[in-house]
């Protein structure tokens, strides 16, 4: 038969009675709860943080019984999700992401196919499946006819065009050769029965036209090409002229054939001195390349086209302030928050330099081989504590777990804390709990150190 070990014999008398600690179900605390206390250096009354290597865990709950068993109906309702009709419902993933026949059908509308984003949009616009070239060049006549039929009887929605339409009706169509017909008389008597005009008058008395984007672009390009051919070539300006307004010699026209880069920096193999001012009195405070290199200010006699470092001058206040170095640069490292830095030791993870959250478990007494760092708050404290070497573990003040857990909180005869004794004497001097007199005001109900009286009883 298996041998059973009494928990009291295994852990000593520190175990609490398990009659009052009953597990209440799966949503409650675990059956095994632990408490840790300091095991290397005895500090009577200390209830603060205890490092991991210096702590000994003690189980509090030893009973593995559970409370009242869960009913079958509650367990079934918690484990299976049922519909109002009693049928079992599928998983949430199967309900929302199940692939149906509509997800794999051929592309017949926008977002066709197995697209999750278009699943709940419903019926969308019809899928045209055409291009601009086909719609405007190949099928331009059909689209023009369709647009004209749709525009019959529509009122004008642009107030700015109403006056212009009343005086000079607009005549635009897809066929430029038919504009003469639209620009002429559009009375019913002048229309031909076999030829439909390019622009018709609607029932509202308006002239509606249509022109494709491709036709407009082609006509605009042809007109610009014709104007460029008919334009006379520009006469180049003389390079010998000197203009006192500009710091370099150039024609005072910003709409010439030369680019802005050529005006400011010159062309290939050009002489910068040819574009310089004849004398210092003709120079200005404006940069030659202010349109290309915005932000630079020329305050010295630099060569035109120079884009390098500009020395500090009395005219540039920002340059003067930076050259004087009156204000020191902001030290981001000094202003960084301590908790935003990695101030915890890296002994547990060798070579790890990533982020560690702020938690007491991140601080460890296991120092790296090169010693604790001194650049952080925790590292400086560790270095100060271990600069004379790590003291050996003294077991003289260890607490005997078999003697009971209360020996940790009460001072024994072996060790008495001088600090605790001094605090106790100071407290006794200020608040002396005597029966004869008191040195501080007492509550009207009870007082520490004074027995209860009948008049103070609430019963």
Residue 410, CA distances (Å) to 108, 194, 421 in order: 84, 118, 12
Cα–Cα distance between 177 and 413 in angstroms, integer?
120
Cα–Cα distance between 54 and 39 in angstroms, integer?
6
Domain boundaries defined on the chain:
7-59, 136-230, 424-459
Q: What is the pLDDT of residue 250?
A: 46
Mean pLDDT across the chain? 59
Contact 399, 37 (CB under 8 A): yes
Which is more confident, 442 or 229?
229
CA angle, 342 then 348 then 352, to 5°: 50
Highest mean pLDDT among 17-26, 62-71, 83-92, 131-140: 131-140
Q: Is the pTM of this model over 0.75?
A: no
Q: What is the pLDDT of residue 423?
A: 73
Task: Provide the percentage of residues in the chain whose pLDDT is more than 70.
Answer: 17
Q: What is the pLDDT of residue 100?
A: 74
Contact 450, 436 (CB under 8 A): no
Q: What is the pLDDT of residue 97?
A: 75
Torsion from C-alpha of 79, 81, 85, 88, nearest 10 degrees: -80
Q: What is the pLDDT of residue 89?
A: 61
pLDDT digits 0-9 by tens, 42-61: 566 666 676 666 665 555 55
Q: What are phi and psi of 31, to 5 degrees?
A: -70, -25
Cα–Cα distance between 45 and 427 in angstroms, integer?
16
Q: What is the pLDDT of residue 16?
A: 39
Q: Which position has the token pair 């697209």?
A: 115
Three-class secondary structure of residue 341 per DSSP: coil
For residues 89-117, b (16+ Cβ closer than 10 Å) or e, as one string? Answer: eeeeeeeeeeeeeeeeeeeeeeebeeeee
Which is more confident, 122 or 272?
272
Contact 45, 409 (CB under 8 A): yes
Strand partners, 88: 82
Cα–Cα distance between 281 and 302 in angstroms, integer?
14
pLDDT digits 0-9 by tens, 369-400: 666 566 665 666 666 667 777 667 776 666 66
Supply 438's token pair. 């008191």
Mean of pLDDT values over 323-341 = 58
User: Which letter does DSSP use for residue 33 in this model?
Assistant: -
């Amino acid at each position: 038969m298996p041998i059973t070990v009494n928990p009291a014999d295994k852990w000593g008398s520190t175990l609490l009675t398990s009659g009052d600690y009953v597990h209440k179900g799966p949503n409650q605390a675990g059956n095994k709860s632990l408490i840790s206390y300091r095991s290397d250096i005895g500090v009577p009354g200390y209830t603060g943080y205890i490092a991991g290597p210096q702590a000994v865990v003690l189980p509090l709950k030893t009973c593995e019984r559970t409370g009242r068993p869960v009913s079958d109906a509650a367990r079934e309702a918690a484990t299976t999700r049922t519909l109002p009709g009693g049928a079992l419902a599928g998983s949430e993933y199967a309900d929302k992401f199940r692939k149906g026949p509509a997800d794999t059908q051929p592309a017949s509308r926008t977002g066709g196919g197995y697209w999750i984003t278009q699943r709940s949009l419903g019926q969308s616009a019809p899928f045209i499946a055409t291009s601009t070239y086909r719609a405007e060049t190949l099928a331009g006549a059909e689209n023009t006819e369709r647009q004209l039929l749709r525009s019959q009887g529509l009122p004008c929605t642009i107030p700015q065009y109403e006056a212009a339409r009343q005086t000079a009706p607009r005549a635009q169509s897809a066929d430029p050769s038919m504009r003469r017909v639209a620009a002429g008389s559009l009375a019913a008597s002048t229309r031909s029965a076999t030829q439909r005009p390019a622009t018709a008058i609607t029932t509202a008395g308006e002239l509606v036209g249509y022109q494709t984007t491709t036709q407009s672009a082609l006509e605009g390009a042809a007109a610009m090409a014709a104007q460029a051919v008919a334009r006379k070539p520009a006469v180049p300006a003389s390079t010998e002229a000197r203009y006192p307004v500009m710091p370099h010699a150039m024609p005072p026209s910003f709409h010439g054939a030369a680019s802005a880069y050529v005006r400011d920096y010159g062309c290939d193999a050009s002489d910068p001195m040819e574009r310089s001012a004849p004398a210092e009195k003709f120079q200005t405070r404006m940069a030659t390349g202010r349109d290309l290199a915005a932000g630079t200010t020329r305050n010295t006699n630099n060569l035109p086209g120079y884009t390098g470092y500009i020395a500090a001058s009395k005219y540039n206040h920002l340059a003067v302030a930076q050259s004087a170095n009156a204000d020191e640069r902001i030290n981001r490292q000094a202003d960084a928050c301590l908790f935003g830095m990695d101030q915890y030791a890296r002994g547990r993870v060798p070579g790890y330099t990533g982020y560690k959250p702020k938690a007491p478990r991140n601080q460890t007494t296991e120092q790296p081989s090169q010693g604790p760092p001194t650049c952080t708050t925790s590292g400086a404290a560790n270095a100060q504590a271990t600069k004379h070497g790590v003291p050996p573990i003294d077991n003289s003040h260890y607490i005997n777990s078999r003697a009971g857990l209360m020996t940790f909180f009460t001072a024994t005869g072996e060790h008495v804390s001088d600090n605790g004794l001094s605090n106790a004497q100071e407290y006794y001097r200020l608040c002396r709990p005597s029966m004869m007199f008191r040195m501080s005001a007492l509550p009207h109900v009870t007082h520490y150190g004074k027995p209860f009286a009948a008049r103070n009883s609430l019963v």
